[in-house]
A and B are shown apart, each in its own frame.
Chain A
Amino acid sequence: MLKDITLGQYFPGNSVIHRLDPRTKLLFLVVYIAALFVALSWISYGVMLAFLIFVIAVSKIPVKSILRGMKPLVFILAFTAILNIFFTGGETVLVEFWGLSITKEGIIRAVFMISRIMMLITGTFLLTYTTSPIALTDGLESLLSPLKKIHLPVHELSMMMCIALRFIPTLIEETDKIMSAQKARGADFETGNIFKRVRALVPILVPLFISAFRRADELATAMECRCYQGGKGRTKMKLLRYHRSDLLAFFVAAVLLAGMIVLRHFGL
């Protein structure tokens, strides 16, 4: 069912990771991704993996839900694996058929790429699992605030993002409801060729769009009723502040990236 999509859902908790400043977590994610791309050898991948497992353990996020979030991405992972297995040139040919050959190098590369993507995704999941959407957009707004100098509407952008995130579950629920209602009138989404199936979506999409526009309109009115004027002169109830744990996190991030660079330098 649609409700089971957990992609990027916030997982309330009270671990050290949960309590970190969202800016720290955002910057940490950027450094982590950079480190992941610097890493080239099995040893450095091992270090990254060990680090990832450590963070998961500290955050107390169930491994099951991370794996479940990975489900929608299986297709991309499989696609990457197949491309790498068949289209990586190499010396040691293992199997050959229909002009395609599978080499040892290809398999190694495929495993490498898949672990890289999976670690990338897991890292991002850890951010969204441990940070509420509001904290996340707050952090983003704060990090991007220097761009206000060049007249980029940073506050408005982050508000848009916040609203979008807020309405994903609502719209999923709405889609579920509309689908059930049309199914009750005998709509069939599961059989027939591709054209038939696309046409079967019309009875869902039309009401869904109408309700999305209606909600947007109502929300805009409600915001205006409460005198929302945009970012200028707006104060915050929860001010973002760095704590000692944030400092530690920055230190860990620096060590991680430096370590990866050193390992690469020595060809490991």
Chain B
Amino acid sequence: MAPILEVKNLTHIYSIGTPFEHVALKDISFTVEKGEFIGIIGHTGSGKSTLMQHLNGLIKPTEGTVLLDGKDIWADKKFTRQCRFRVGLVFQYPEYQLFEETVYKDIAFGPKNMGLKPEEIDRRVREAAGFVGLTEEQLNVSPFDLSGGQKRRVAIAGVIAMEPEVLILDEPTAGLDPDGREDILQNIQNYRKAKNATIMMVSHSMNDVAKLTDRLFVLCDAQLAMNGTPGEVFAHAQQLVEMGLDIPEVTRVFLKLRALGLDVDPVYSLEQAVDALTACKGGSADA
């Protein structure tokens, strides 16, 4: 099956030809398969946000191409607009983009722009609200009367309501309390399962990406430094630290254990840690 998204030799330079010229992305290539959950990590200013805005045609590449379902998203104007609906993009702090009088209307903004029938819009709004756990009564209040976490969920529902095949989120849990974070991550999982959607998520929480994603992209200084499963990526802990990135807490503990002479393979999730430790304990008991 053809990859849902394919990026070929993507380069982006801001303010080209001025003293403020700045290379944001340099020769990036990757593919994303349908249904994958991809995590994107990288330090501030490594080009994550610029990359994401290329994937739904908000920014035009300086060089290189972005293919959605095998077709160049800049091939023609109509297709570029289609891409915005097929690749949903949730920006950082999306609650600052709410503007309608009621939650319902705000979630309906995207579907309405798609030119759908009223019944279809209604179905999508209610379904999207369901995914993010908003109640029926909350649909009729002003989004500005909600709490920060609820506003965030309204904003995410606004993108989910377009039923994108690929959902991209830029730090969806930034600034939320632990409960709020769990909720949002669960909402994203729910959507993925229900629609067999592809998810790409930028995050600074190594614990979250280690637990949730199938594959990780590591961006460093405008380049794609690593591309692999969390296991492969976190095996290069030293390199990650040099890039100014973190590693999951359990991985750090296990690296320490290894340094102390315990024979364990590095792990990156709690379940694996439990398995590894039981195996280790069993082994020593036998001996």
Contacts and interface: CB of A to CB of B under 8 A. Distances in A.
Interface of A: 3-4, 62, 65, 177-178, 180-188, 202-203, 206-207, 210-211
A186 B113 contact: yes
Contact of B97 (A3, A181, A202): A181
A180 B58 contact: yes
Contact of A184 (B18, B91, B99): B91
Contacts of A181: 89, 91, 94, 97
A144 B54 CA distance: 50
Chain A interface mostly = helix
A186 B84 CA distance: 6
Contact of A202 (B81, B91, B99): B99
Contacts of A62: 19
Range for the number of chain B residues in contact with chain A: 20 to 34
A184 B89 contact: yes
Looking at A4, A182, A202, the one whose CB has the most chain B CB atoms below 10 A away is A182
Given A4-B15, A203-B99, A185 B162 contact: yes
B230 interface: no
Interface string B46-62: 00000001001010000
B98 A186 contact: no
Contact of B91 (A177, A210, A211): A177
Contacts of B88: 184
Contacts of B19: 62, 65
B84 A207 contact: no
B99 A207 contact: yes
B247 to A, nearest CB: 31
Among B89, B99, B109, B158, residue most surrounded by chain A Cβ atoms (within 10 Å) = B99
17 contacts: A3-B15, A181-B89, A184-B84, A184-B159, A185-B158, A185-B162, A186-B85, A186-B110, A186-B114, A187-B109, A187-B113, A203-B97, A203-B109, A207-B96, A210-B96, A210-B144, A211-B96
